[in-house]
Amino acid sequence: MKNLYWILLALALTAVACRKESLIPIDETETEEPSELEGLFFKGAIIDGKNNVSDALVEVYQNEKLVGTKTTGADGAFNTAGISLEAGKHVTFYVKHKNFNPHAKRVNGTAGNADLGKLKLSTTDLVPANIEPLVNPGSNDLIVVSGYVKSPQGNPVQASVLLLYDISEPEPFNYEAKGEGAETDANGYFEMLLPKDQEFYYFAFQEGCVNKLLTKEDSKIFESLPVELIGPFTQNTQLATLNNGLEQTDVKITARFLITGINCAGELLKNGAVKGTFEKGTETIPFEFKALVGIFFPAKDLCVEESNAEAPLNIRLKILDYDSGLVSDELYFQNVQLDDNLGVVSVCETPITNKGYISFNLVNKAYFFEIGTGAITAGDTLYSNTTYTNSNGLIRFLVPGYSSGKTEIKSFRFLSSLVDGGFNFEQRPGDSIEVNFEASSDPNKIPGTFSGSISNELGLSVPITGKFRILLP
């Protein structure tokens, strides 16, 4: 009996051992955790807000050196199995992916298992600039700057936060900067790894349909983007909570259609635009688009009240030909579906305006505005401006020593931020805009063309060309 007992026990143990062995894969994946933890071990997952991010490179730094790398799988997960980490020293995780801005996460090195949670990456279109990656994310000269974005009611706000410095524009509207952009998590929390002893331009945009700037207007790099200048900091810093985010339930809807404009000769427009309004239930949203060769693909994300989300989309529009100065009849389309082809429109009958106007091309965009009545003041200075806003200053220009020949504009400003949310422009020392006044049979109608350069809000000069007609009283 004793021999039988030991035989049965041996068989049972052998069976268990064989079963256990069958459950252990030969090749361990990067997301498997070790059964026994020695030193430091971390795990986490990379997401983009909703989905897991695969093929993200996670660089692991300690003692100011790169000590290992991991690549996320389909589940976005990673861990530090196989990477030797020292307890008591901070560890930095630097995540890179071709479709996202790099993101850093620094933690204190404590013994045992540590769950980093979900690390949220932000898309490259979050920041209006190319952000240079950190040279050494593990450097002790970097600190953690964090904070919260909340509504006045104290609820977390999904927002995009920027802390930038050394902003430059090597090419028109191609900006480069240092710093970081991050998105808040479900608690409204954000954190970034930034250099010590550095001032930062700090601003945030609420996600969704609000498009609200959240920071205070303490200083400015762009007139259209009020920002707060903060720092420098010498140690890890938690910023005061931004608590002016809005509670909102608006719905985002994409409107997109195709329409073609031709001139009197039946040729595609070479310098034109489509201008009109989207109508969605009780809401009306203006739009203006320019396109090459007269084929227009207007696309716009509309934020409408939830009660209007299911209402049909109606479009009211005109097509303008800036070369001929003509405009089509006003057209009205009802119940327009996504990507509908609205046909071919002839732009061959009506002058764009009988009023004073100015049209110009600036950074690959075409603009057209009616302008107020001009005046020739003392010193033969020709003056005209728009009445687009209450401040009466969307566009303003002065031409000292007005004559029928060539001269130069001495003051030109354009508040693009009021039109399409872009950068504002103003003529500065070094900018030259030459004017060529054209002949006119009516002394009270002064047509002309102009070309030269104008500076954006960063002080960088860009080319501008256009024409105008100023009406005198």
For 295-330, how does the pLDDT look when each residue is reduced to its tens digit (9 = 90+)?
A: 888 888 888 888 898 999 999 999 988 888 888 888
Find the DSSP H helices in 73-154. Answer: none
Tell me, what DSSP letter sits at residue 10?
A: H
Among 73-87, 294-308, 408-422, name the most confident range. 73-87
Report the pLDDT averaged over residues 140-153: 91
Return mean pLDDT, the chain: 77
pLDDT at residue 216, rounded to an integer: 63
- According to the model, what pLDDT value does residue 270 have? 85
pLDDT exceeding 90 applies to what percent of the chain? 23
Please state, in angstroms and rounded to a whole number, the distance separating the CA atoms of residues 414 and 395: 5
User: What value does the mean pLDDT take over residues 42-64?
Assistant: 90
Least confident range of 121-125, 182-186, 279-283, 383-387: 383-387
Look at residue 31 and tell me whether its pLDDT is greater than 80: no
* Single-letter amino acid code for the residue at 70: K
CA distance 176 to 169: 6
Residue 264: how many CB atoms within 10 A of its CB? 12
Higher pLDDT, 112 or 177: 177
* 204-262 confidence digits (pLDDT tens): 887 677 667 777 654 444 444 556 789 899 999 999 998 877 777 788 888 989 999 99
Q: How far apart are CA 32 and CA 37, in angstroms?
A: 12
* pLDDT exceeds cutoff 70 at 80: yes
Rounded CA gap, 401 and 377, in Å? Answer: 10
pLDDT band at 112 (very low <50, low <70, confident <90, very high): low
Residue 263 has pLDDT above 90, yes or no: no
Query: CB of 424 within 8 A of CB of 391?
Result: no
Comparing 106-120, 263-277, 354-368, 432-446, which segment has the lowest mean pLDDT? Answer: 354-368
What is the model's pLDDT at position 114? 82
User: Which is higher by pLDDT, 2 or 328?
Assistant: 328
* CA gyration radius, the chain: 31
Q: Decide if 311 contacts 280 (C-beta within 8 A).
A: yes
Residue bearing the bigger pLDDT, 355 or 331:
331
pLDDT recorded at residue 314: 94
For residue 152, whether the previous peptide bond is cis, meaning omega lies within 30 degrees of 0, is no
Tell me the longest C-alpha to C-alpha distance in the chain.
127
pLDDT in tens, 159-212: 888 888 887 766 655 667 888 888 888 899 999 999 999 999 888 887 677 667
Region 458-466: what's the mean pLDDT? 85
The sheet with strand 237-238 has its strands ordered as 189-195, 142-148, 237-238
Highest mean pLDDT among 69-78, 316-325, 363-372: 69-78
Token pair, residue 249, equals: 């339930």
Residues 6 or more apart from 141 whose CB is under 8 A from it?
Answer: 195, 196
What's the pLDDT score for residue 83?
A: 92
Whether the pLDDT of residue 140 is over 70: the answer is: yes
Q: CB neighbours of 388 closer than 8 A, spacing ≥ 6? A: 369, 394, 395, 418
pLDDT value, residue 390:
33
Burial degree of 331 (CB within 10 A; 0-12, 13-18, 19+): middle
Q: Which residue has the higher pLDDT, 80 or 447?
A: 80
Q: What is the dihedral of CA 223, 227, 231, 237, to 10 degrees?
A: -170
Which secondary-structure segment (H or E) carries 20?
helix 2-22
Q: Residue 417 above 70 pLDDT?
A: no
- The burial of 460, by beta-carbon neighbours within 10 Å (0-12 exposed, 13-18 middle, 19 or more buried), is given as middle
Residue 329: how many other CB atoms lie within 10 Å = 12
